[in-house]
Structure formats: C-alpha cells, structure tokens
C-alpha cells in the first residue's frame, strides 16, 4: 500500500470517527420536553392530551432520545380501551422526533357492562375495570353510540358474533342503525332499528340464512312511505324459509316524522303534473213516462 493510500485511509477513518462522535454526542443530549417533539396521528374521538399523558408516565423528559423504547410506549398505549393499536416511530436524524400512529377502537355494543368492539370482542368490563368512570366519561364526551344488548340467558362469544353478523346485514340492507337487541328466557332474539323489528328467533345455524333473505324484501320496504305504513317488524324466527312481514301498530317518533315529511312533500310537489281539464257532461234528460197498457176484457159470444 502506497503512502498516498495510507494517508487517504487515515483521513477517512478520522472523518468517520469524528462524525460518529458528533452524532453520538448530539443524540445523547437530554431532551427537555418530549411533548414538543411528539406528533400524534389518527385521532378522532380521543384528544392529543390522552396520548401525551401516557407518554408522560414513561418519565422521558430529561433523558436522551436514544433511551426511548418505542415498543414499550406502544404497549402502554394499547392498554387504553379506546386504542385498538398503536405504532411508535423514533427519528434520530436530522431532527429528533417521535411519531405515534393511533387506530382507535370501533365500539359496537354494551352487554352487561362489557363494551364490545366491531369484532364482538370484549374491550373493557366496566363492572371490573378500575377506570370505569373515566371510560364512561370518554364515551359520553365522544358521543359514542352503542347497541344495548339485554338477554335473560347468558350469551357465548359465538352467539355474540352471530348477533354482530345479523346487525351488519340488517344495517347494510336497511341503511338504518341497530339500536337495541333483546332476548327472552327461551333464547329468542329481536333486533330493533328506528322503524322495524327483526325477530330472528334462536341463534342457531339457520338464522343467518333466514336473515339473508331479508335483502329480497327490503326493496319493497324502502318503497313504502314511512309516514303512512304500519309495517313495523320482519319475522325471521319461523322454521319456514319464508320471510314473514308483520304488522305492529307502533307510532313513529314525531321528530322522525317531522324530518321526513318536508322532503316527501317536496318530492311529491316536483313530481306532480298540472291537472287535466275535465269536460263536464250535462245530465241526460229523463225519459218520458210511457202510457200503461190498457187491459180490455174479452167477452165470450153468447
């Protein structure tokens, strides 16, 4: 190796060593306020303070960013009932920063104090959780709408999953949100929406097949004026393969009627055509009375 090559190698090593020392020195400097270098993405119901409060529990302020453990922060965030998943990325150069990507929990129902997500899995049990009051406050502040499930018989995870599939099918077909699910002592269930009740019966293997038939009927339901119809529920609990339309005289809430009626009246006015002129016919003259036939007695010859 020539003297020139040795000199170049030595200079390259010194530059690399100096750069490494400089980078290590910069990254080992304590960060005074991690709140200022943290970006949070994906929040809808939650607020940034809810995430930063979890970050503060790591007591990072005053520590270098090299000591930040993204996996540990992610696991801490996942303990929050409103967070389904969290991904934490740490950036060292050119600017020190932390980015947190949040996927919030999509709640579905409340069953005996258990909050279920859109996979019918229990997210938090309010009857046992130490943060039950905090969770209820968050539900109220975020206007989270839950389906209320009330059943006299205990529901298994499989049955809850079946109810979720039924609700998804009904909501997709009717474009109406499911509000409540009720069950009786025999295990028959009814799914309630704003306008209709779906009596699904026992949660056996046939209930999904029966409910899938409802899509053939709902086109007819959508064509019915909701202000006038007295059709209130669809009966799927029978053992036959037919979808039975039932009539149940139940008053529609006045607020819903008031919201729908102006649109319906406007649509009718646009579609209305000018009335055609009707020719008035004069009444025909009464027929003249015909003379009654006279009966002439016939006298026999003598």
Q: Tens digit of pLDDT for each residue in 256-277?
A: 445 445 544 555 555 555 544 4
- Rounded Cα gap, residues 301 and 299, in angstroms: 6
3-state secondary structure of 164: helix
Q: Which residues have C-beta within 8 Å of that of residue 65, sequence separation ≥ 6?
A: 27, 31, 90, 92, 96, 98
- Assess whether pLDDT exceeds 80 at residue 101: yes
When the candidates are 3.10.180.10, 3.40.50.2300, 3.30.2320.50, 3.40.50.11690, the CATH number that belongs to 107-256 is: 3.40.50.11690
pLDDT score of 252: 43
pLDDT score of 301: 38
pLDDT score of 89: 93
pLDDT score of 180: 95
Q: How confident is the model at residue 241 (pLDDT cuts 50, 70, 90)?
A: low
pLDDT score of 128: 76
Q: How confident is the model at residue 283 (pLDDT cuts 50, 70, 90)?
A: very low
- Assess whether pLDDT exceeds 50 at residue 251: no
Contact 235, 217 (CB under 8 A): no
Residue-wise pLDDT tens digits, 45-75: 888 998 998 888 888 888 888 888 999 999 9
**Among 22-26, 109-113, 227-231, 251-255, whose mean pLDDT is lowest?**
251-255
pLDDT score of 257: 45
Q: Where are the alpha helices (DSSP H) in 178-235?
A: 207-212, 214-222
- Rounded Cα gap, residues 237 and 188, in angstroms: 8
Q: What is the pTM of this model?
A: 0.62
Reading across the β-sheet that carries 38-41, which strands appear in turn?
38-41, 97-104, 83-91
- Rounded Cα gap, residues 187 and 155, in angstroms: 9
pLDDT score of 247: 57
- Rounded Cα gap, residues 49 and 55, in angstroms: 10
Q: Both tokens of residue 193?
A: 């929406």
| Annotated domain spans of the chain | 27-104, 107-256
Q: Which residue has the higher pLDDT, 290 or 77?
A: 77
pLDDT score of 28: 67
Share of the chain above pLDDT 70, in %: 65
pLDDT score of 83: 92
pLDDT score of 22: 56
Residue-wise pLDDT tens digits, 140-179: 877 788 999 999 889 999 999 999 998 998 888 778 899 9
Mean pLDDT, all residues of the chain: 75
Question: What CATH number does the domain located at 27-104 have?
Answer: 3.10.20.310
Q: How confident is the model at residue 237 (pLDDT cuts 50, 70, 90)?
A: low
């Amino acid at each position: 190796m020539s003297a020139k090559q040795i000199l170049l190698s030595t200079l390259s090593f010194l530059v690399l060593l100096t750069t490494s020392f400089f980078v290590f020195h910069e990254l080992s400097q304590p960060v005074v306020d991690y709140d200022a270098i943290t970006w949070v993405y994906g929040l809808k119901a939650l607020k940034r303070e809810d995430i930063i409060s979890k970050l503060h529990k790591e007591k990072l302020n005053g520590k270098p960013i090299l000591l930040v453990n993204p996996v540990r922060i992610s696991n801490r965030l996942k303990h929050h009932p409103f967070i389904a998943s969290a991904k934490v990325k740490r950036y060292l150069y050119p600017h020190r920063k932390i980015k947190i990507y949040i996927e919030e929990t999509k709640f579905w129902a409340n069953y005996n104090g258990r909050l279920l997500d859109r996979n019918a899995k229990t997210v938090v049990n309010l009857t046992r959780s130490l943060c039950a009051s905090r969770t209820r406050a968050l539900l109220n502040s975020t206007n989270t709408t839950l389906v209320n499930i009330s059943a006299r018989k205990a529901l298994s995870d499989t049955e809850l999953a079946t109810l979720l599939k039924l609700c998804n099918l009904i909501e997709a077909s009717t474009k109406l949100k499911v509000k409540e699910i009720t069950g009786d002592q025999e295990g028959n269930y009814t799914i309630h929406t704003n306008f209709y009740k779906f009596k699904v019966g026992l949660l056996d293997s046939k209930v999904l097949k029966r409910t899938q038939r409802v899509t053939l009927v709902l086109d007819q339901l959508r064509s019915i004026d909701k202000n006038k119809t007295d059709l209130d529920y669809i009966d799927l609990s029978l053992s036959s393969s037919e979808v039975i339309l039932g009539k149940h005289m139940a008053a529609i809430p006045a607020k819903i009627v008031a919201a729908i009626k102006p649109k319906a009246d406007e649509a009718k006015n646009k579609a209305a055509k000018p009335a055609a002129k009707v020719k008035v016919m004069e009444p025909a003259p009464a027929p003249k009375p015909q003379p009654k036939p006279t009966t002439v007695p016939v006298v026999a010859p003598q």
